[in-house]
Chain A
């Protein structure tokens, strides 16, 4: 099946800093989502981005499907950004609909 690798595994920032999280995947995809799992365990949808670039406030994401990677940018980080960031992909075909998750990036933002 498709492989998803996220980097870095851990990231510690001071409030106000910027960061870039990376997601590499091993095959072409028809769905790529970024999630934030907050300290209460909820999975929050950040972006649906199988290709192209999107922005939502301080967050933006870019997926280069031909090169099989996606980047999540967090600018002017805040303590509320802390948590785990997951990239998840769906490769279509016989795996239509099912998401394969990366292992996540644990982000800690200190005040």
Chain B
């Protein structure tokens, strides 16, 4: 399997612009997670989905952030409008709840490094 795929790997944009980050989970996984990593706050969960349904979005910082999962193989995280404080590395991860000894082990994509000027 190719693992979790994220695009773009790097994104530089100007304040006020819309940013869309994309994720393709590992085939067959039923959970998808979006995390953000910053120096100040470390790695924090933003939102996660189970079978394409959002389960917990309590980590989404504000209304400027939205996430969708239209099907089992694709998810987007959108920021509109973007601000300099949104600069961070955004990770997507996926897991499979039906495993045996690796129950709900999460696998991470390579991340998208976002810079908002």
Contacts and interface: CB of A to CB of B under 8 A. Distances in A.
Interface of B: 31, 33, 42-45, 48, 50, 55-56, 89, 91, 93, 95, 97, 101-108, 110-111, 113
A106 to B, nearest CB: 12
Give the bracket for the number of chain A residues in contact with chain B.
20 to 34
Nearest to B105: A48
A30 B89 CA distance: 27
Given A41-B89, A86-B43, A97 B113 contact: no
A43 B104 contact: no
B50 A97 contact: yes
A33 interface: yes
Given A41-B89, A99-B45, A48 B110 contact: no
B105 A97 contact: no
A31 interface: yes
Contact of A98 (B33, B42, B108): B33
Interface string A90-102: 1000010111111
B67 to A, nearest CB: 14
Query: Which 5 residue pairs of A and B lie closest in terms of their CB atoms, listed nearest first?
Result: A43-B108, A101-B43, A48-B105, A98-B45, A48-B102
B105 A31 contact: yes
A103 B42 CA distance: 6
Contacts of A42: 108, 110-111
Nearest to B42: A103
Contact of B107 (A31, A41, A45, A90): A45
Given A45-B105, A86-B43, A98 B56 contact: yes
